[in-house]
Amino acid sequence: MSWIDQRPDDAMDGAFTAVAPTPPISSVDQAAFRDAMARLGAAVHVVTSAGPGGRTGFTATAVCSVSDQPATLLVCLNRRSNSAPLLARNGVFCVNTLGANEEKLADMFAGRSGVHLDERFNVGEWTTLKTGSPVLASAVIAFDCRTLDVKTVASHNVIFGVVEAIRLGPPGPALVYHERLYKKV
């Protein structure tokens, strides 16, 4: 049986249990996968969190809508990132989708300018919605989420969040990462 085979638990509602061996096996090497993924343009977000674990944020493109009833999305976070234990402890996060002119913020929250976790919030105007996670006032959209579930898959935690509040920021072009460059859409 291949690792992508799935065993239906309940044919009526489409639920399933994956039967992947642990760890998953792929014949595609890391460099080939990364080069392929570089061709896939994706919106750039700063995912933030605040609570008993402390305040943090990181740049992410691995964000995806899961369901609109209840409103649910997912974020993939490298388990080795400094933010991972803080998000786990806080149990809340906010996905801030960046506008076209926020490359510097994206680089800073990606750790590219050497600015550490909490200090990253010295740039930009920040507010909060329901969960207390930092909301970037200039973000095109902010999805304020409470963690519903976390699945560990290979190097990453797939964090599912129920959206508790949405803030629509100033409309305008969005920032996209494509072919390892920031682009404006």
Residues near ligand FMN (CB under 6 A) are 44, 58-62, 76-78, 81-83, 109-111, 177
Given the complex with ligand FMN, which of 16 and 79 has the nearer CB atom?
79
* Phi, then psi, of 109 in degrees rounded to 5: -75, -10
CB of 59 to ligand FMN, least distance (A): 4
Given the complex with ligand FMN, which of 109 and 144 has the nearer CB atom?
109
- Rounded Cα gap, residues 116 and 121, in angstroms: 10
Contacts of 140 (CB under 8 A, 6+ apart): 97, 98, 99, 168, 169, 170, 171, 172, 174
- Rounded Cα gap, residues 173 and 102, in angstroms: 11
- Rounded Cα gap, residues 31 and 180, in angstroms: 14
CB of 9 to ligand FMN, least distance (A): 29
CB of 141 to ligand FMN, least distance (A): 16
CB of 80 to ligand FMN, least distance (A): 7
Given the complex with ligand FMN, which of 58 and 121 has the nearer CB atom?
58
